């Protein structure tokens, strides 16, 4: 009896279209962007659409809801808004387990949405994560459009391919990699943001500039005062360039769905993710990333990778943009006296599949991956940061 097995391998390349639009007034009836994206698959059909809106966008009024409903009434021959726009909480509340995901699944089921239908999410990064996860898992993928409403999500997370909710007290533990059908960055959505939320997106722009584009870093240095004042033209240009660099990385890294251990776009994030959970999300993502970047910069100096003058220059920009760059949560200890923040390294290792890979920089615009970090040097950095913030204050 012949027990020989023949194994044939075929490698097939799959191309994904990842469309990102920059506009003003996406729900203006005369703006063709959304109308064209939502165009029915066949003549004579109407595309079913379900819309979710971050409650934070409605805190100063409900004009956005009126604009959405007016847009769909104007295009009622080809589009069908199956129910009034649904409100969902923003921030980490919407990502706390599967409660809101199940609500969205129920709506998709009750309204008979299919793979030719669309779910639209309008909100910050956390809300886009949760609604995107629900859309990606209903019918194995209902078509999905993101309208990021913060500088953070328009320049970074909102243009990516990740969706997730938090589980087991761990950030983004349950999720998918799914390319959205479109990302629409509507700059009008930024007008009513509190200053802290407008500023939050700057740090992800600094991050991607540090690992990929020195000239972009220098552009932010030259325009730091305008950015601090939130001048619209400069702010929008920073978002465009930040989003473009993030998209370029996704398209050209060779690992858009992170099968390997390298995650350069998470520079400064191993501390940031832990700080967010330790503080019960009292510290927002932008402020946490600013702290994480400063810590990794100082560590890079200690190991001789980065010049101290370069680190000082970068930290000056971060603080010039309005970030404090420190939190007492960095000093939290376990009952046994261990530094809680160091658990972030082990959680990062687990998230990456067992091999720790941390992105540091050896110069502005020059990212570098390392596979270990010296625990004692990390602790020295934390002490230095505390002493430095005391000196500044």
- Selection from 319, 359, 48 nearest residue 210 by Cα: 359
Sequence-ordered list of residues with C-beta below 8 angstroms from that of 41, at least 6 positions apart, any chain: 47, 116
Q: What is the pLDDT of residue 353?
A: 60
DSSP states of 194-211 as a string? -HHHHHHHHHHHHHHHHH
- Of 103-117, 294-308, 328-342, the range with the lowest mean pLDDT is 328-342
pLDDT at residue 350 above 80? no
Identify the structural domains of the chain with CATH numbers, from first to last.
20-190 (3.40.50.1970), 195-392 (1.20.1090.10)
pLDDT digits (tens, 9 = 90+) for 48-76: 999 999 998 887 668 999 999 999 999 99
Neighbouring C-beta atoms of residue 2, cutoff 10 Å: 4
Tell me which of 357 and 32 has the higher pLDDT: 32
The residue-averaged pLDDT of 17-33 equals 92
- Selection from 388, 235, 234, 366 nearest residue 316 by Cα: 388
pLDDT digits (tens, 9 = 90+) for 250-279: 777 655 656 554 566 788 888 898 899 889
Q: What is the pLDDT of residue 261?
A: 46
Rounded CA gap, 207 and 220, in Å? 12
Q: What is the pLDDT of residue 257?
A: 58
Q: What is the pLDDT of residue 300?
A: 95
The residue-averaged pLDDT of 193-197 equals 87
- 381 Cα distance to chain centroid: 26
- Selection from 324, 353, 170 nearest residue 255 by Cα: 353
pLDDT digits (tens, 9 = 90+) for 211-230: 999 999 999 999 999 999 99
């Amino acid at each position: 009896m012949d027990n020989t097995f023949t194994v044939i391998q075929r490698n097939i390349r799959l191309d994904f279209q990842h469309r990102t639009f920059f506009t003003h007034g996406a729900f203006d009836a005369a703006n063709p962007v959304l109308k064209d994206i939502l165009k029915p698959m066949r003549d004579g059909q109407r595309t079913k659409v379900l819309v979710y809106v971050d409650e934070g966008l409605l805190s100063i009024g409900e004009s956005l809801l009126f604009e959405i409903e007016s847009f769909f009434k104007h295009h009622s021959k080809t589009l069908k808004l199956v129910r009034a726009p649904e409100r969902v909480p923003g921030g980490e509340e919407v990502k706390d387990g599967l409660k809101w995901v199940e609500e969205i699944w129920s709506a998709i089921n009750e309204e008979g949405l299919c793979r030719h239908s669309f779910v639209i999410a309008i909100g910050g990064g956390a809300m886009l994560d949760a609604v995107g996860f629900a859309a990606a898992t209903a019918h194995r993928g209902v078509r999905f459009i993101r309208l990021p409403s913060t500088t953070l999500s328009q320049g970074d997370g909102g243009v990516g391919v990740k969706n997730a909710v938090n589980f087991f007290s761990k950030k983004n533990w349950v999720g998918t990699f799914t390319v959205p059908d479109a990302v629409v960055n509507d700059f009008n959505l930024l007008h009513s943001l509190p200053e802290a939320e407008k500023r939050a997106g700057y740090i992800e722009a600094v991050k991607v500039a540090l690992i990929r584009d020195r000239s972009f870093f220098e552009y932010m240095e030259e325009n730091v005062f305008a950015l601090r004042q939130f001048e619209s033209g400069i702010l929008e240009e920073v978002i465009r360039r930040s989003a473009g660099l993030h998209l370029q990385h996704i398209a050209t890294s060779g690992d858009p769905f992170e099968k390997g251990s390298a995650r350069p776009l998470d520079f400064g994030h191993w501390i940031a993710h832990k700080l967010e959970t330790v503080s019960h999300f009292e510290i927002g993502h932008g402020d946490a990333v600013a702290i994480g970047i400063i810590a990794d910069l100082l560590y890079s100096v200690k190991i001789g990778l980065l010049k101290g003058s370069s680190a000082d220059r970068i930290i000056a920009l971060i603080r010039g943009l309005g970030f404090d760059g420190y939190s007492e949560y960095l000093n939290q200890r376990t009952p046994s006296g261990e530094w809680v923040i160091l658990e972030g390294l082990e959680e990062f290792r687990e998230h990456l599949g067992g091999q720790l890979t941390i992105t540091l920089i050896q110069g502005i615009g020059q990212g570098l991956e390392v596979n270990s970090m010296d625990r004692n040097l990390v602790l020295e950095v934390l002490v230095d940061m505390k002493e430095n913030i005391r000196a500044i204050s």
